[in-house]
Structure formats: C-alpha cells, structure tokens
Structure 1
Amino acid sequence: MVLEKSSLKVLQEALEELDTGFQKLPRRRFEPLPDQIALRRVLLEVAERMKDNYPYPHPLYAGQMLKPPHPIARLAYTLALWINPNNHALDAGPASSMMEKEAVGEIANMFGWQTYLSHLCSGGTMANLEALWVAGNLQKNRTIVASQQAHYTHQRICGVLRLPFQEVPCDHRARMDVDALKAILEKGEVGTVVATIGTTATGSVDPLPEILELQTQYNFRVHADAAYGGYFTLAENLDAETRSVFDCLQQVDSIALDPHKHGLQPYGCGCILFHDPSIGTLYKHDSPYTYFSSSELHLGEISLECSRPGASAVALWATQRLLPLTPGGEFAADLSRSRQAALMLYEKVQQASQYRVTFAPQLDILVWSPSAESASKISQLSQAIFKEAADLDLHLALADLPKELLEEVWQDVDWDQDHVTCLRSCLMKPEHADWIEEIWQILEQATRKVFEVYGIGIQG
C-alpha cells in the first residue's frame, strides 16, 4: 500500500463530535445529495484521472519539492470543510482565526520573535509579495536585490509592484556573492536585500551574517526568503556555517515560510512574518461593509488577500499541536533525517567515478551529474539518466546551472555551452534516509545502462 488510509476512521468520530456543537439549532432540511450511484461514479472517475501522477508520497520519488501532508493535516483540513470558515475576519471564522494566530505565533517563536506581525497566505509567492510590497512602501523607489539563484518570483513581483530590481552574482556554491553585493550597495540605490534561505535549485543558503554586517553600513531592509529552508532552524545536523545563518535569522526584517513544504501541510499554505508589528498600519483600509461582532484586529486587516481558507489554519494548528516546533522534538528529528539522507547520497556520489559533484548540500537538496568531458555531454547524459531512472521507478529532477557557477569547481570541463544540465534530488521525506541504498542501486543501474548506450566505461 502506497497511500495511507488507516487514519480515515478517525475522521468520522471527529465529525460526530463537531456536530454536537450545533445541536441547539432547529433541525434543518438537507438538500438531497446527488444520486449515490452517480456520486460514486464521478468520484471513481476522479480517482482514475488522478492515477496520472508521479508517486509523490513514495520514497522513490526524490525529484521536485513535493512532500505529502501529515495525516493529521489532511484530516483536520477535511474536518474544517464541513464548516468552511473564512479567515478574512474573526466573524467569518472565530475558531480558525484564533487557531491561525496561535499557529503563526508558534512559527514566530521558532525564529526567536516575541513581537511580530504574521498571518498565513496562499504560499511563498504571496508571502514574498507582501514582504516586498511593505519594503516598497517603506523605501519608495529603492531597488530590491536578490541573488541570481533566488526564486524567479522576486523579479516578477518587482515587475508587478513596479519596483526596481537587480540580480546579485553568486559564488561557486550558489550563494549570494557578498563582494558583488557590496559593489552594488556602494551605488546607494538599494532598499531591500533578499537573502534566500534554501534556493530551489540547489538548496544553497545565502551568507546572512555577512549580509547583516553590510546592513549596518548601508541601511537597507533584509527580507529572508525561507520558503523552502526556514524550518531547518530546528535541525540538529547543520554544518557550522549554515547553523550561523539560522542563528541570526531573528535579526531580519521579514521572513517568508512555506508550511506546505517542510511544514507537512496541504497546498496552499504560506506564511509571512514581520518583525515590526507597526507595519500593520500599511494594510489599513475601509470597506463599504464590515463585521461587527468583534473589536479585535481582523486577520483581513493585515493581509493583502481577502478570503482565505480557515481550513489551512486548522490543519497547521493541528499539526503543530501533534508535532510541536521545538528543538529535539519529533518534527525537528525528521528534518535532521532528511538532511542526513542528502549527506548519505552526497558521500556515495562523491566516491563514484561515474559522477561529478557540485558542492556539499547545506540542507536536503543535492545536485550532481554524470562524469563527462564537456558541458553538452554532461547535459545529454543527465537527461538520459533522468529518463532511464524514471523507467525504473526512481524519480529525480533536473537542474540547469550556469557556467559561471561551476567553472571554478569543474575546471577540467570543456564549457562548449553556457549552462549545464545536472541531476537533482530533493530528499524531503525523513524515510529517504532508510531508502538511500535502494535509491543508489537504481541510480547505478540507470547510469550503467545509459553509459553502455553511449559507449562509456565505468571504472571500479
């Protein structure tokens, strides 16, 4: 069995308990459900259509950033749909709004913040948009900068907000180059530096301590795009350099986080946090209608989004209730296992003559390639191994990296093109650590077959 189903029996009991909260109301007449035969037919048709997916929950899926929600998140989200609260306002979802405030408070405390302004949103893109919207309001017409390996959403958001944007070159480990950043800062036009805490391509972590040191000289805001890597602040097996980044995250002005990645939540659940609560005044608005049952601040008054699913808040709250965001806890241990899986695979790749390593993983993403003499040949082999591995039920990903990023590391490569396609794995599931041997065996089998086709021998 690939899909977990045993937890469904708990849902019926929870639904019966939820129903007791409304027993004092007069009985209502339910609209008749669709014909049960027709309902079953359509639902089974949905199941048939949904088979056209990669096996994302399985450990042999090690490609894109797709991590299955925890069973408690699935169940709590589904349970909340019988009420379908809207967390735009306390009146439209009093319980789920309070659960959202408690859940984001726990996330803020994970980063060491006691005072903050925070709310959930649809995902990392929306969280980053709100951060840059605030930055643009506080520092009019000032440039936003992010590394060349930062998510493309920052440049796109700046286009939407009509804010000037500039990319900062990266070092040979795909992190923002501090010297290049300083040269840009010297022009006096930068208002905000986006520090990426876990890039989507390589999982690289920008050197935040050095960026914060420059902040004292050049007076800019620092936004941490921690959509992917933020939860790793709880991991216990980071290297010292990466640990130093997380140790000073509490000094930034804003943080974007994606609970629908390592936070074990369904899509879409993002979170934006601001260290200074007073930025809430930027969201102030009037409406021709209003809610009157509460005098407290509505979540809709500190969000660019209006209607937002209360079910997302319920699922996140329930998950954090079961798995608290505490160092040394079960949630933290699973993050450490994911990173350990990446280190285990990195060690195997590093020792094998048929592969080239890029750089050691900082989190749980690993990028490597088959060994060949030219960038074009490496790219060709990577794509062939990617397809062959998929035929053997091992699902990896591909990453296109620029020549400038790897030419210092791969000095013997003939750079006959300006980029190279590499193999990439996101070892997000803690059980990946238990499957590395099987993953490695399939990878070797796929590589051996591809090399035979291309007439390449494997040493050892």
Structure 2
Amino acid sequence: MTRDRTLELLSRAAAVLDREFGHLPGFESERATASDASSLQAVLDETARRLGDNYPYFHPLYAGQMLKPPHPVARAAYALAMTINPNNHARDGGRASSEMEIEAVREIAGMFGWTEYLGHLTSGGTMANLEALWVASQTQGTATHRRIVGSEQAHYTHNRISSVLKLQYSSVQADACGRMRLDSLEDELRKGDVGTVVVTLGTTAIGAVDPLPEILKLREKYDFRVHVDAAYGGYFKLIEDVLDEPAQAAYKAIAQADSIVIDPHKHGLQPYGCGCVLFRDPAVGLFYKHDSPYTYFSSKDLHLGEISLECSRAGAAAVALWATQKLLPLQPDGEFADALAKSRRAALDLDRRLRTDSRFEALAGCVPELDIVVWKMKAESTQGSSALAQSVFSACARRNLHLALVQLPQFWFGSAGSSRELGTCLRSVLMKPEHEVWLDRIWDELCGACSEMENG
C-alpha cells in the first residue's frame, strides 16, 4: 500500500472519529491554526530532511539489525489514537484503548496456549523482562534461593535488571549453536541458590533457541522459576511445525513456563515501544497491590495500572497492536505467520549460499533456527578475519546493502585455537518477508563487495 493511500485512509478514519465526538460544543483550540500553516510546513520539512540521515530500515537492502517497519495499519491506528493521546495506566485515562489492550494481550496469550494468565503491554522488552524477574523475586520472598541465571548469549539487560533488583546474576556457557549448555546449567543449580532460570527463545546475536524441554525437566529436580525471554523469537510459535528440532520442541513446551516476554515492536509489526509480559499464574497480581488516591475509582473492573510497574503508558501502542491483530490475526495458517515463514526461508537460503562459497565460513554445527544468519570471513587468523569483516561491511554499505557486525566465539565456526576467542563476524537479520524475494540482489551485492575488496 502506498503512503498516499495510507494517509487517505487515515484521513477518512479521522473524520469517523471526529463524528464520535460531534455532540460536544465547539471551542477554539490553542493548537496550530491555518495561519500557522507555513511555519508548521517549514518545521515538518526540516524534520523530514533530518530524518533522511538514517539507514533505510524499511527497505529490503537493510538486512542488518532487528529493525522492521511497522505495518501501515499500525502506523495509521497509532496516529489516529494520538489525536486523543490515551493513557493506559487507568481506565479513565484510556477507556477504549485499555479494552483494546486487554483484547490484544488475550490473543498473544492464546498464541502460547494460555487462557488463564496475567499480562499487559509495556514500553518494551527490557521493561517486560524487569517485571518478570521482579515478580520472580517477589514469589521467593526473602529466601536465599533467589539467584538468577541465564545463558551467556541471553540479552545483556538481564544482568543489568538483576543489579537493579539487587539480585545476583550468573551466566551459563553456551554451546557451538549459541544455546544454553545443560551441563553448565546443572552445575549452577547444584549450588542450591538459583531461584530463576532465564530461557531465551531467539537470542539477539544469532537467533538461538535454548533447550526449554530439558530445562523444564531440571525444574522438577531443582525447583526454580522458568522465565522465557521470547522478546525476539516469540512469534515463531505460529510456525513451530516448520522449525527444526530442537527449536520446535522448545516452542511446543513454552506454555509450561512461569512467565513469557514478547516484543510486538519486533516481529509484531508495531512502532516502538511495545513489549508484552505474561504470567501463567494470575495470582502474581497481588504483588502489584498499591493504593492510589485518584486513579482507581472510576470503574470496578481491573485497571491495567494495577498489574504494571509502569504508570503512564501510551494507549496508542495498544490501539496500533489491536488494529494490526484485527487485520492480521495470530493464526498458524494466516498471512502474519506466512510472513514469518518467508523470513525463515530467506535465512536458510542465505546460509546455504554462504556454505558453498569458499570466501565465507558459516556456523559449523547448525543452520539458523529462526531468521538470523551469521558468518565469518575466511582468513588465516582471527585478526585477519575480523579486519576483513569490517572491510566487507563498509563495502556493502557503499553498495546500499546494510549488514551488521557481531562478536562471536570462533569455535562456533569450527576454527582451531582458543575455543573462547572472539572475532568480528557479519550478521544479517532477515526479518522482512520481502527479504525472500530480494535474496538474489542481497547476495549479488555481498559478492560484489567481496570482489571489490579482492581487486583492491
């Protein structure tokens, strides 16, 4: 859909919204009037020019970091809601948008197989993970078994969050596919002080999926909470049947977790920021209990502010998510799921090409589990490979192909030498469905950049 068409549809929807409040007496707004149009246009033009100083995140040739353009309906619904600017902290601040948040979160929980749960949207995955680990600490009270552990490939914010909560955090070694090592985890569990294990379904470095079923078996023996950080990979639950083992098994077991985090502003086609936290036991809502002198007396129904550490939250984020899921339901056989399948096929295609080209080295023991591909440049040393990766990264950018760089253990690629030595590698997040049909062009530009380097 073209931008002009989206704006036309938004204008029509705005007129519908105006009619909803047409019974109110008119008044003179202090907002910009027609006489200010020239000044407003000048500021917007300058804003547009400033925004041009960005990578083209919306384009298929941007295949670097986790940046996916919001769906047009999400952008339009967000803009429409901003004419009211609702606040989903309390129902009298966001009456309709609070209902829309409840409905949208219910569909996300249903995707994971939960009908009994507690959950809400957040300003992003970091805040969602903070809430999940805070609740975990509250369930354990003053017990000494409160240490948090996660894979060394888990998101770095878990360490920070634990520090904020004044809890100890320990990293568990990852295997050559970036997954948490069960033997290393059990070494930590034997110490007897672990209260929560963070299980990542979709690491931000390579999209690795931790072995959740086996970790759940360890929970039976050692009694700890399982928090699933699926901020990046959560939506792949919809296409679990086409994933390879053990990723498929991990997604099938996700309903047994104690808490789940997912980021709609990643694969969920939403603007920043929109995260979501879910708890399997609704009774954890008691930990949020507090008194407010003014926000909780307009309704007997549950206030989202009563189950959230955040206070003011953008109701527009809930409206955009609700509208997107209304257009693209979270169904395994739907259009939304099909887009995820295209991204995964693109990743497998790129990985296959890398493995057949002598200039590159792909991961030695595993193919991409989701839609992230990493590879190193072949060279005689880690230093040489790292320098070459930097050069190819820059050469690709000059050809308008934008990749990313990542530091990874070299033994993941079967390299000899120190198993823990880190080297600079290339990384591509193929999270746009268009990447599947653009893979030939992406490959041509990558190979062209390499040839450019070879020819000096």
* TM-score, structure 2 as length reference: 0.96
Alpha-carbon displacement from aligned partner over 1:151-188 (angstroms, at most 9, x marks no partner) = 00000000011011100001111110001001110111
How far apart, in 2, do the equivalents of 1:305 and 1:377 lie?
A: 47
Aligned residue runs from structure 1 range 20-59, under 5 A:
20-31=19-30, 33=32, 35-59=36-60
- Please identify runs of 4+ aligned residues in structure 1 that moved more than 6 A: none
Corresponding residue of 1:247:
252
1:76 partner letter: A
Match of 1:436 among 425, 439, 455: 439
Match of 1:383 in 2: 390
Quote the RMSD (CA, aligned, Å).
Answer: 1.4
Please list, as runs of the form range in 1=range in 2, the aligned pairs for 1:135-214 lying within 5 A after superposition.
135-139=136-140, 140=142, 141=144, 142-214=146-218
- Number of the residue aligned with 2:323: 318
Q: Does 1:230 align with 2:237?
A: no
Report the AA paired with residue 369 of structure 1.
Answer: K
Cα distance, 1:374 vs. partner? 1.1
Classify the secondary structure of the residue corresponding to 1:134.
Answer: helix
Contact 2:90 2:295 in 1 (8 A): no
Cα shift readout 1:356-399 (whole Å, capped 9, x = no counterpart): 00141000000001111211111011000000000000000001
Instruction: Tell me the residue number matched to 1:364.
Output: 371
Specify the alignment match of 1:458 in structure 2: none
Cα distance in 2, alignment partners of residues 292 and 286 from structure 1: 11
**Corresponding residue of 1:329:** 334
Counterpart for residue 224 of structure 2: 220
Q: Distance in 1 between matches of 2:393 and 2:230?
A: 28
Q: Who is 2:448 aligned against? A: 445
The aligned counterpart of 1:456 is: none
Distance (Å, rounded) in 2 between the aligned partners of 1:185 and 1:381: 41
Q: For 1:417 and 1:168, how far apart are their aligned partners in 2?
A: 14
CA contact (8 A) 1:375 1:417 kept: no
Amino acid at match of 1:439: I
Q: Secondary structure at the match of 2:92?
A: helix
Amino acid corresponding to residue 422 of structure 1 in structure 2? C
Give SS of 2:65's match.
coil
Question: What SS does the corresponding residue of 2:207 show, helix, strand or coil?
Answer: coil
Give structure 2 stretches of 5+ with no counterpart: none
Per the alignment, residue 294 of structure 1 pairs with 299
CA distance in 2, matches of 1:231, 1:255: 12
Residue 416 of structure 1: CA displacement? 11
**Structure-2 separation of matches of 1:309 and 1:47:** 24
| 1:421 counterpart residue number | 424
1:446 counterpart letter in structure 2:
A
The residue matched to 2:287 in structure 1 has which SS? Answer: helix
Moved more, 28-37 or 102-111: 28-37
Residue 263 of structure 1, aligned match among 268, 272, 293: 268
**Paired amino acid for 2:441:** E
Q: Secondary structure at the match of 1:314?
A: helix
Distance change (3 Å), C-alpha of 1:32 and 1:74:
closer
Contact 2:409–2:419 (8 Å) recurs in 1: no
Write the distance in 1 (CA, Å) between the matches of 2:347 and 2:270: 22
Provide Cα deviations, 1:292-338, integer angstroms capped at 9, x if missing partner.
Answer: 22111100000000000100000000000000001110000000000
> Matched residues in 1 for 2:277 and 2:187: separation?
29
8 A contact 2:406–2:425 mirrored in 1: yes
Q: 2:284 aligns with which of 272, 279, 284?
A: 279
User: Is the Cα contact below 8 Å between 1:376 and 1:417 reproduced in 2?
Assistant: no
Q: 1:93 to 1:419 in 2, by over 3 A?
A: same
Q: 2:133: which partner in 1?
A: 132
2:101 corresponds to:
100
Q: Which amino acid aligns with 2:439?
A: I
Q: Cα deviations across residues 242-294 of structure 1 (Å, max 9, x unaligned)? A: 11110000000000100000000000000000000000000000123234221
> For structure 1, which segment, 367-376 or 302-311, has the greater mean C-alpha deviation from structure 2 after superposition?
367-376
Deviation sequence 1:24-77 (CA, Å, 0-9, x none) = 211122225151111000000000000000000000000000000000000000
Partner AA of 2:277 in structure 1: I
